[in-house]
Amino acid sequence: MPDSAIAVKGLVKKYGNFTAVDKVSFNVGEGEIFGLLGPNGAGKTTTISVLSTIISLTSGSAAVFGNDVDRNRDAVRSMIGMVFQDPSLDDELTGRENLDLHARFYGVKGEEKKRAIGEVLKLVELGAYADKQVRSYSGGMKRRLEIARGFIHKPRLLFLDEPTIGLDPQTRRKIWDYIKMLNERERLTIIITTHYMEEADELCDRIGIIDHGKIIALNTPEKLKDSLGGDVIRIGTPAPGKLASILKKRKFGMRVKEYGGDAVEITVRDGSALLPRIIALAEKGKIDVEYSTIKRPTLEDVFISLTGKAIREEEGDANTAMMRRFMGRR
């Protein structure tokens, strides 16, 4: 692993008697996009709030580029940018004014400030709207402006808390592109929290799956999915028993089982390579094949296999969660 951007060891955060983050440990290398994936209330925001020195930890330790988040707050703050889960722009100000305020807060001044503002506006393609009031922006534009703002003082590490919550799929893709570009072009280390499987899969080099305050799995998206044993091929046939027994005699490194009385399920590493051979074996045995499907496991499958439940990720839930937060803030 490259230089350590983040080192977390046995991190615990309690709110009164309630343990929101429970002995969490992980490392993030410089230049990585690292994801914390988990359902509502899992402890994602709490974890990155500790790392970004917004709240203090209860026990354990955490460091950002070697600086302890508890003892060396100012050093940590100077290196990081933050995009909060809840919108935090000033609606009355223009996009440019919002950026200006933030730049000044970080001591970016004069020509440098002007250049930085121009650059980040261009980066998220908001130049044409820079002098319009933020209240006239769409949800996606606001989120882009917040990402630009988090980056204006050129941090080495950017925290993105649910960067695309409640946005439509197209806008979400666009934001993923900006995140990838920042990571690649600026070699920016990025920590992202999300409860969208697809987002974690698409963006993250490695993912920590978090549930009830604990990291229950941590690996690359590919390895997490591989941990389920491979692709699942399903062959529909009137003679599942016969087909299963033929396949079981073959040593293709697969697991074979009958499924629902009219199909056979085969779990194997490289499903698409094996499927034609399975069909050929069925033909040779004079077994009718009614249909065949291959399903590559998703992170959702990984989450279900680890926890026995699904991450709720329908838009409705995200909207409900947003609404709840909105009401809570009033």
Ligand X SMILES: Nc1ncnc2c1ncn2[C@@H]1O[C@H](COP(=O)(O)OP(=O)(O)OP(=O)(O)O)[C@@H](O)[C@H]1O
Give the range of 36-44, 144-152, 217-225, 249-257 binding Mg ion by CB under 5 A. Answer: 36-44
Give the range of 5-13, 42-50, 181-189, 251-259 binding Mg ion by CB under 5 A. Answer: 42-50
Which residues contact ligand X (rule: CB under 6 A)? 15, 18, 20, 38, 40-46, 85, 195, 321
Instruction: Tally the residues of the chain.
Output: 330
Residue nearest to Mg ion (CB): 45
Round to the nearest angstrom and report the end-to-end CA distance of the chain: 44
Angle at the Cα of 19 from the Cα atoms of 13 and 21, rounded to 5 degrees: 50
Q: Which is nearer to ligand X, 15 or 326 (CB)?
A: 15
Q: Which does 46 bind (CB under 5 to 8 A by kind): Mg ion, ligand X, none?
A: ligand X
Residues 86-105 contacting Mg ion, CB under 5 A: none
For the bound state, the minimum distance from the C-beta of residue 279 to ligand X, rounded and expressed in Å, comes to 44
Q: Does 47 bind Mg ion (CB under 5 A)?
A: no
Q: Which is nearer to ligand X, 26 or 129 (CB)?
A: 26
Q: Which is nearer to ligand X, 195 or 225 (CB)?
A: 195
Rg (CA), the chain: 24
Q: Which of 204, 217, 225, 187 is nearest to 35 (CA)?
A: 204
| Whether 274 contacts 233, CB under 8 Å | yes
Q: Which of 105, 90, 98 is nearest to 120 (CA)?
A: 98
Residue 18 amino acid letter: F
**Residue 306 parent element (H or E):** helix 299-307
Q: Which does 38 bind (CB under 5 to 8 A by kind): Mg ion, ligand X, none?
A: ligand X
Residues facing residue 266 across a β-bridge: 233, 256
For the bound state, the minimum distance from the C-beta of residue 79 to Mg ion, rounded and expressed in Å, comes to 22
The token pair that represents 264 in the structure block: 């056979």
Give the range of 39-47, 73-81, 218-226, 238-246 binding Mg ion by CB under 5 A. Answer: 39-47
For the bound state, the minimum distance from the C-beta of residue 258 to Mg ion, rounded and expressed in Å, comes to 43
